[in-house]
């Protein structure tokens, strides 16, 4: 079927450029395009050079052509297996290319670029434009992390003057990095397309035509994916962060005899003397100095730094680095790199990366019960993380309760039992489980049963797929039990609200509809395709202010004029109605 005249009922009219499919393939260039080292706000950036398409894309095209010939593949399992084969092929090329470069100064060069990228990312969070393709910049940041992680596995060669060697080889290093970024960017794209196909089986196809591989996104998925990715940032400004760093510092000082600031003293040296960015350092002398001066817990000191270090022994494979960007062993959470240079162990540590990693640990790891494996034998740290994990849902619940109170909705939270006038309260904690938030919308005669899920902030389809599986396989059934209970016991709910609002609650709930919703912390793809609605703080605020609108899509079959309306859940409805 060919579809045109795609439009959103509540948004502007949109027309698909290609009525059948969207083709995902490398950009063509008529002339060689040299990007080189880009300077933005006095910071340096290197992006992928698309001209390497001519070197690497034929490898993938030949791989698929030899297997299937000049054809189009739409069967989901075949699509996914072929994409995986392309992914692993590129990962192997990436690894081989990287292993050829043994000069430590190249990796210091990459590290400095990553430090600059953090400064530029901070500008992005302030809505300051960078003047470059921001998707390419984000991809560059992700691939730089992988390059730096993998450097821990190599036997590197030093030089008497790293600054001089970087300056003398700048063009060579930029060319190599552009090539690695190109290969890495397509590893990311192909892994994303694989995850999309696994989630939404009819979305993706593969085609070899004129000896060139094309990755296809079938209509109407391009517009749906576009809507999802444009809508998600709308929710990010109100993501509830649980910043546990202050308490973490207190735990360290009170129990292990050392201040966090002493453990991180080397980052102050970098702030005061930028020359530290041009070479390597060693953690061991710092550890010995701390132990000598402070007489603190030696095991903790060793484990503290080990838990923040990427080494050849804990570094993930290249494939896992591309697929698991939130693993605790990633450079994301471990800002210290352990390098073997001329047979000796050195460390590469960035001021910006240290701050970024510690911030991410406190906001996107500790609150979810995640922390470095090396720290787990320290009981006070373990207790701190468990406490943070057990209480972090409150960070999400509190702003929702405040909104409900401000707008005068009858509500209750953490409902373990329902109050009754005879004192014989009805307990649900041991049956269906407690209800995080329960509120009444009198205007629309609705009872909302809310399950709060303080989900981690994620930014790629592979991680959203993990979220999606959790909701589908676990959370939906939990919420369904609570919705069913409230539906069957509206009289008990009514009496409960009469008890907690004795002067004001005069509502009869017998004819009210019961709706279950997830209240989530960060946007995720389940929001667009769940059995139950998943709403962020932004959505809840819009819902209560009567500003919440469902987006609906209308597809017209150009051959017969047949119109199909696609409503939530979008992807399930596309599969059901359009095949």
Per DSSP, the residues of 245-264 read: HHHHHHHHHHHHS--HHHHT
10 Å CB burial of residue 405 (0-12, 13-18, 19+) is exposed
Would you call 568 helix, strand, or coil by DSSP?
Answer: coil
Longest Cα–Cα distance of the chain, Å, equals 85
The pLDDT of residue 133 = 93
The pLDDT of residue 439 = 98
Mean pLDDT of 336-347: 97
Residue 371: pLDDT over 90: yes
User: Do 63 and 110 belong to one domain?
Assistant: yes
Task: Kindly state whether residue 450 falls inside one of the protein's structural domains.
Answer: yes
User: Do 316 and 427 belong to one domain?
Assistant: no
From 208, 236, 264, the end of a domain falls on: 236
Mean pLDDT of 186-201: 94
pLDDT tens-digit map of 120-179: 999 998 989 999 998 999 999 999 999 999 999 999 999 999 999 999 999 999 999 999
The pLDDT of residue 35 = 64
Return the closest-CA partner of residue 330 out of 281, 373, 382.
373
From 188, 219, 236, the end of a domain falls on: 236
From 204, 236, 268, the end of a domain falls on: 236
User: Do 227 and 270 belong to one domain?
Assistant: no
d(CA 401, CA 387): 22
User: Do 169 and 86 belong to one domain?
Assistant: yes
User: Do 414 and 525 belong to one domain?
Assistant: yes
Give the residue with greater pLDDT, 267 vs 508. Answer: 508
User: Do 371 and 493 belong to one domain?
Assistant: no
Would you call 507 helix, strand, or coil by DSSP?
Answer: coil
* Gyration radius of the chain's alpha carbons: 27
Tell me the average pLDDT of the chain.
89
Return the closest-CA partner of residue 532 out of 467, 449, 455.
449
Task: Kindly state whether residue 288 falls inside one of the protein's structural domains.
Answer: yes
Tokens of 66: 């030899």
The pLDDT of residue 390 = 84
Task: Kindly state whether residue 139 falls inside one of the protein's structural domains.
Answer: yes
Residue 328: pLDDT over 60: yes
- Residue numbers of the domain that contains 125: 38-236
* Number of domains into which the chain is organized: 3
Task: Kindly state whether residue 119 falls inside one of the protein's structural domains.
Answer: yes
User: Do 68 and 206 belong to one domain?
Assistant: yes
The pLDDT of residue 109 = 97
């Amino acid at each position: 079927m060919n579809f045109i005249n795609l439009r959103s009922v509540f948004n502007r009219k949109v027309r698909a450029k290609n009525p059948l499919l969207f083709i995902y393939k490398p950009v063509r260039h008529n002339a060689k395009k040299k990007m080189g080292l880009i300077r933005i706000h006095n910071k340096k950036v290197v992006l992928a050079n698309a001209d390497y398409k001519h070197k690497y894309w034929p490898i993938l095209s030949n791989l698929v052509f030899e297997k299937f010939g000049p054809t189009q593949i739409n069967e989901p399992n075949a699509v996914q297996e072929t994409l995986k084969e392309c992914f692993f092929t590129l990962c192997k090329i990436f690894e081989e290319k990287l292993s050829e470069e043994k000069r430590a100064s190249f990796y210091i060069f990459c590290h400095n670029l990553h430090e600059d990228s953090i400064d530029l990312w901070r500008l992005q969070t302030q809505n300051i434009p960078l003047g470059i393709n921001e998707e390419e910049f984000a991809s560059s940041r992700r691939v730089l992390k992988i390059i730096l992680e993998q450097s821990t596995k190599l036997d590197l060669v030093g030089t008497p003057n790293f600054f001089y060697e970087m300056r003398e080889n700048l063009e060579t290093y930029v060319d190599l990095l552009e090539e690695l970024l190109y290969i890495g960017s397509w590893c990311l794209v192909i892994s994303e397309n694989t995850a999309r196909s696994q989630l939404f089986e009819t979305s993706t196809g593969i085609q070899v035509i004129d000896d060139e591989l094309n990755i296809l996104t079938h209509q109407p998925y391009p517009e749906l994916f576009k809507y999802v990715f444009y809508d998600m940032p709308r929710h990010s400004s109100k993501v509830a962060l649980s910043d546990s760093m202050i308490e973490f510092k207190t735990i360290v000082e009170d129990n292990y005899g050392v201040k966090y600031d002493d453990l991180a003293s080397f980052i102050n040296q970098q702030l005061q003397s930028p020359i530290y960015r041009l070479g390597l350092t060693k953690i061991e002398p710092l550890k010995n100095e701390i132990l000598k001066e402070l007489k603190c817990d030696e095991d903790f000191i060793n484990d503290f730094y080990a838990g923040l270090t990427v080494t050849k022994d804990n570094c993930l494979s290249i494939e896992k680095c591309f697929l698991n960007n939130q693993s605790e062993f990633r450079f994301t959470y471990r800002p210290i790199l352990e390098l073997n240079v001329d047979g000796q162990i050195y460390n590469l540590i960035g001021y910006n990366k240290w701050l970024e990693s510690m911030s991410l640990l406190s906001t996107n790891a500790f609150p979810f019960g995640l922390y470095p494996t090396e720290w787990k034998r320290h009981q006070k740290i373990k207790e701190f993380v468990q406490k943070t994990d057990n209480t972090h849902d409150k960070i999400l619940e509190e702003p929702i309760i405040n909104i409900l109170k401000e707008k005068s909705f009858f509500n209750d939270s953490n409902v373990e039992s329902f109050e009754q006038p005879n004192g014989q309260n009805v307990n649900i904690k041991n049956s269906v489980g407690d209800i995080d938030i329960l509120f009444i919308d009198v205007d629309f005669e609705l009872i909302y049963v809310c399950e709060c899920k303080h989900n981690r902030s994620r930014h790629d389809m592979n991680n959203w797929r993990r979220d999606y599986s959790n909701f589908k396989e676990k959370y939906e059934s939990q919420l369904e039990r609570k919705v069913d209970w409230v539906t069957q016991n509206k009289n008990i709910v009514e009496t409960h609200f009469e008890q907690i609002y004795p002067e004001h609650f005069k509502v009869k709930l017998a004819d009210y509809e019961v709706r279950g919703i997830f209240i989530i912390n960060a946007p995720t793809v389940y929001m667009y395709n769940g059995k139950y609605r998943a709403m962020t703080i932004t959505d809840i605020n819009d819902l209560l202010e009567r500003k919440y609108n469902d987006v609906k899509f209308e597809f017209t079959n150009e051959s017969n004029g047949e119109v199909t309306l696609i409503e939530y859940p979008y992807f399930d409805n596309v599969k059901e109605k359009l095949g």
